[in-house]
Amino acid sequence: SHDHWMTHCQGVEYSERTCLRYWMRWCPWALQFGDVEALARTHNGGPKYHRACKTARYWRKVKVSMEVAAYDFRHNPRLREWKHERR
C-alpha cells in the first residue's frame, strides 16, 4: 500500500538493503572486492553496465560525491552485515 511505501521503502536502511540484494545477484564479485565503480555502474546501467556509455558519466558523478563527502563504502554497516552473513 501507499502507507507502507511511505514509511518503509523511502528509508535509507531499506534502500541500502535493496541495493545490496541487487548487487549480490548481479555483481557479487564487486561487493567482495570493494569495486565501487562496478557497483555504481551496475546500479545505473544494469548487469551489462560495461555496454552502456551513460554509466561512465554516472560513475564520475558518484566518485566526486564520495570524495567531497569523504565516504568510504567499505565502512558501511550494511556491507559489514552482508560480509558477516556470507561467512
Instruction: State residue 82's pLDDT score.
Output: 63
Residue partners of 69: CB distance under 8 A and separation at least 6 = none
Is it the case that residue 79 has pLDDT exceeding 80? no
Dist. CA 77–CA 73, nearest whole Å? 9
Dist. CA 13–CA 36, nearest whole Å? 19
Give pLDDT tens digits for 22-49: 999 999 999 888 899 999 999 999 988 8
Instruction: State residue 1's pLDDT score.
Output: 63
Give the percent of the chain with pLDDT over 90: 33
If you count them, how many residues does the chain have? Answer: 87
Burial (0-12, 13-18, 19+ Cβ within 10 Å), 54: exposed
Rounded to a whole number, what is the distance in angstroms from the first to the last CA of the chain?
Answer: 36
